[in-house]
C-alpha cells in the first residue's frame, strides 16, 4: 500500500502528531508514505484567512528529516495552495528539500471553495467553472510540482443536490486541464474518499485522462488523522485498473517511481 497525501499538526487543520500517523502506516505495512502539510500562502493575501496559522517551515523540515532517517518508507512533501499572488512567496521555498510537491487549488477569489460563502449567488455551473479555470491557471506556475491534487475539491461542501463534477458538463475546461497535465508530464491525484460512489475526480474524468495519454496517477486519502490512512485503497486500485491504468506513481526526490498494481483475485 502507498499513501501520498497526508497532514499532521504542522498543518493548521492537522489532527495528529506525525509519529501517530507513521505508527499507523507501519501497521498497514505501507511501501511509501508521504507527509504533505499545508503551505497556504494564498491565505496570507485574503482578509478572511490572514489569521490562519501558517506552517513553521524550519521546524517542519527538522522534524520530518529526522523521521526520514528512521523510516525508509517515509517521504517529505508539501501541499501548495495556489493563487497568482502567492507565486512569489512559493518561489522562495527550498524545493530541493522536498520529495514531493502537490499543486492544489483551494481558494477562488475571496474564498476557500470549501466555505459555504463561496457558493452564494452562484449557480453550480458558475461555482465549478470558476474553480476549474483556477486549476487551469495553476498548472503554469513557475515553481516545481509533481501532482495536481483533488480536482473536484469544489464539490466537497457544495449546496447543490447533485454535487458531482461531470466530464460532460465541463468538457472544454477539463480537456484543457487534463491535456496540459499530460503535456507537462505531471501526475493526477485520485482522492480515495467516496462521495456518491465516486472518487475524486469522478471515473469519467479519470477515463478521459487515460484516453488523452495520462498514465501517472497517485493514490491519496488526504488524511488529517491516522484512522483514515489507506482508506479504500483496494477499491481505488480496482477502479483504476478497470480504466486501464497498471500502476501508481510515487515521487522520491521529485522523480517518479512506478508501483505496479497487485494482481486482482478473481
* Binding footprint of Zn ion on the chain (CB under 5 A): 79, 104, 222
DSSP-derived secondary structure for the chain: -EE--B--TTSTT--S-HHHHHHHHHHHT-SEEEEEEEE-TTGGGSTTTTTSPPP-HHHHHHHHHHHHHH-TTEEEEEEEE--GGGHHHHHTS-GGG-SEEEEE--EETTEETTSGGGGTT--HHHHHHHHHHHHHHHTT-SS---EE--TTGGGTT--SSS----GGGGHHHHHHHHHHHHHTT-EEEEEEEEETTEEES-HHHHHHHHHTT---EEEE--BSSGGGTTTTHHHHHHHHHHHT--EEEEEETTEEEEEEPPPPP-
- Helices 203-211 and 171-183: angle between axes, nearest 10 degrees: 50
* Of 139 and 210, CB closest to Zn ion: 139
* Of 104 and 218, CB closest to Zn ion: 104
* Of 3 and 222, CB closest to Zn ion: 222
* Of 79 and 237, CB closest to Zn ion: 79
* Nearest-angstrom CA–CA distance, 19 and 32: 15
* Of 20 and 212, CB closest to Zn ion: 20
Minimum distance, C-beta of residue 95 to Zn ion, in the bound complex (Å): 18
Minimum distance, C-beta of residue 243 to Zn ion, in the bound complex (Å): 23
Minimum distance, C-beta of residue 7 to Zn ion, in the bound complex (Å): 6
Minimum distance, C-beta of residue 79 to Zn ion, in the bound complex (Å): 5
Minimum distance, C-beta of residue 260 to Zn ion, in the bound complex (Å): 26
Minimum distance, C-beta of residue 104 to Zn ion, in the bound complex (Å): 4
* Of 42 and 79, CB closest to Zn ion: 79
Of the candidates 92, 122, 120, 102, which has an alpha carbon nearest to the alpha carbon of residue 6?
Answer: 102
Minimum distance, C-beta of residue 211 to Zn ion, in the bound complex (Å): 26
* Of 86 and 210, CB closest to Zn ion: 86
Amino acid at each position: 500500500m502507498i499513501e501520498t497525501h497526508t497532514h499532521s499538526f504542522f498543518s493548521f487543520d492537522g489532527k495528529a502528531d506525525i509519529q501517530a500517523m507513521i505508527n499507523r502506516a507501519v501497521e498497514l505495512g505501507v511501501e511509501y508514505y508521504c507527509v504533505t502539510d499545508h503551505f497556504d500562502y494564498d491565505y496570507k493575501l485574503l482578509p478572511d484567512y490572514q489569521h490562519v496559522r501558517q506552517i513553521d517551515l524550519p521546524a517542519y523540515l527538522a522534524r520530518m528529516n529526522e523521521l526520514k532517517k528512521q523510516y525508509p518508507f517515509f517521504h517529505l512533501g508539501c501541499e501548495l495552495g495556489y493563487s497568482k499572488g502567492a507565486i512569489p512567496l512559493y518561489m522562495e521555498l527550498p524545493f530541493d528539500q522536498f520529495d514531493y510537491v502537490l499543486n492544489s487549488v483551494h481558494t477562488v477569489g475571496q474564498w476557500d471553495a470549501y466555505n459555504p460563502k463561496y457558493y452564494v449567488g452562484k449557480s453550480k455551473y458558475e461555482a465549478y467553472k470558476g474553480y476549474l479555470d483556477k486549476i487551469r491557471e495553476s498548472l503554469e506556475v513557475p515553481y516545481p510540482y509533481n501532482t495536481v491534487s483533488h480536482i473536484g475539491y469544489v464539490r466537497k461542501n457544495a449546496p447543490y443536490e447533485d454535487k458531482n463534477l461531470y466530464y460532460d458538463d465541463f468538457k472544454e475546461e477539463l480537456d484543457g486541464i487534463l491535456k496540459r497535465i499530460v503535456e507537462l508530464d505531471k501526475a493526477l491525484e485520485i482522492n480515495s474518499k467516496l462521495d456518491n460512489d465516486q472518487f475524486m475526480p469522478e471515473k469519467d474524468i479519470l477515463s478521459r485522462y487515460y484516453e488523452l495519454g495520462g498514465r501517472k496517477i497517485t493514490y491519496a486519502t488526504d488524511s488529517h488523522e491516522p484512522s483514515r490512512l489507506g482508506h479504500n485503497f483496494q477499491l481505488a486500485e480496482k477502479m483504476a485498473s478497470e480504466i486501464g491504468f497498471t500502476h501508481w506513481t510515487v515521487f522520491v526526490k521529485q522523480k517518479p517511481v512506478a508501483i505496479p498494481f497487485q494482481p486482482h483475485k478473481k
